[in-house]
Amino acid sequence: EDAAASNFSSSGGQSGPISVVVAHNAGEVTVEARTSDPVQKLKCRAHAQLSVWYRFCDISDSPSSALPPLEECQLWTSGPDGGAVALLGERSPLEECSLSTGQKLLLRARA
């Protein structure tokens, strides 16, 4: 299998790199992924990076800023006002979510 063929996702599209900003309360991290990755994989990476960031900044002791366990989190797109707009389906490939590099997402606890 050549390198060009390995860059195509299972849906037949080109699988390329994407870099998004994921925010949770006071924390914000940049997460890299491939457009063929499922949302769940991006969520796991974001949660891990935010956990490290919170430990580094020592801000996770506050109940209002505590990062919920991974299984209780959801990823949302962010609107112009910074509010949550659309819930991203866990199994959806990023390429189906119309995400673009630099876009801001929100990691929120399930309601």
Q: What pLDDT is stored for residue 40 in this prediction?
A: 97
Domain ranges of the chain: 3-109
Residue in 84, 77, 75 with CA at minimum distance from that of residue 41: 75
Per-residue pLDDT of the chain (111 residues; tens, 9 = 90+): 333 333 433 444 568 999 999 999 888 999 999 999 999 999 999 999 999 988 888 754 555 567 899 999 999 999 999 899 999 999 999 999 999 999 999 999 997
Cα(40)–Cα(69) distance, integer angstroms? 14
DSSP-derived secondary structure letter, 70: G
Domain at 3-109: CATH code: 3.10.20.90
For residue 28, count CB atoms less than 10 angstroms from its CB and return exposed for 0-12, middle for 13-18, buried for 19 or more.
middle
Specify the pTM: 0.80
Q: What pLDDT is stored for residue 95 in this prediction?
A: 93
For 89, other C-beta atoms within 10 Å of its C-beta total 14
